[in-house]
Amino acid sequence: MTERIFFSRSEDDTRELGRRIGENLCEGLCVLLYGDLGAGKTVLVRGVGEALGISGVRSPSFTLINEYESGSGLLVIHADLYRLGENDAGSLGLEEYEDSALFVEWPERWRNPPVEDVMRVYFSAVSESEREVRILAVGERAEGVLMKL
């Protein structure tokens, strides 16, 4: 396991952190995004998209899952489980996206998230515009990405 703590002073900082994740992204990586409403989870994924030539990442709070394809053919899945009850999470079938790069908001609702090649990203609001972003990575691929940020 590898842990790093980042500090974001603005929405742009968080997008930039997302861009760096996007630049180093590989298939099979699962990124679990923890934090309150408005913490910056979707902003981070928007940055990931920007690095991959995917513009206009929108919150999947209503669609639950948004699928994007990068210029190089990597499938990027962005899910938001907020509206799911704890017992429905299995039915979304997120387990089947193991060859994609997967970003999941409100992963507390997911009963069996992967345990290998996972990055857990914890946002906490320090002030209206500042966030502490703590990232824990488990597995060779995930730790490799984290070390390059």
Ligand X SMILES: Nc1ncnc2c1ncn2[C@@H]1O[C@H](COP(=O)(O)OP(=O)(O)OP(=O)(O)O)[C@@H](O)[C@H]1O
Q: How far apart are CA 47 and CA 54, in angstroms?
A: 9
Candidate ranges 10-18, 48-56, 83-91, 96-104; the one touching ligand X (CB under 6 A): 10-18
Closest distance to ligand X from the beta carbon of 9 (Å): 6
61 binds ligand X (CB under 6 A): yes
Residue 1, amino acid: M
Query: SS3 of 100, please?
Result: coil
Q: Hey, which bits of the chain come out as E strands?
A: 2-8, 30-34, 65-69, 75-80, 101-105, 118-125, 131-138
57 binds ligand X (CB under 6 A): no
114 binds ligand X (CB under 6 A): no
Helix H or strand E encompassing 48 = helix 41-51
Single residue of 1, 4, 5, 10 touching ligand X by CB under 6 A: 10
100 binds ligand X (CB under 6 A): no
The residue assigned the tokens 């996206």 is 97
Closest-CB residue for ligand X?
40
Q: How far apart are CA 145 and CA 149, in angstroms?
A: 7
Q: How far apart are CA 100 and CA 113, in angstroms?
A: 14
- x-or-dash string of contact with Mg ion, 47-76, rule CB under 5 A: ------------x-----------------
Interacting residues toward Mg ion by CB under 5 A: 41-42, 59, 105
Interacting residues toward ligand X by CB under 6 A: 8, 10-11, 13-14, 35, 37-43, 59, 61, 80, 82, 105, 129-131
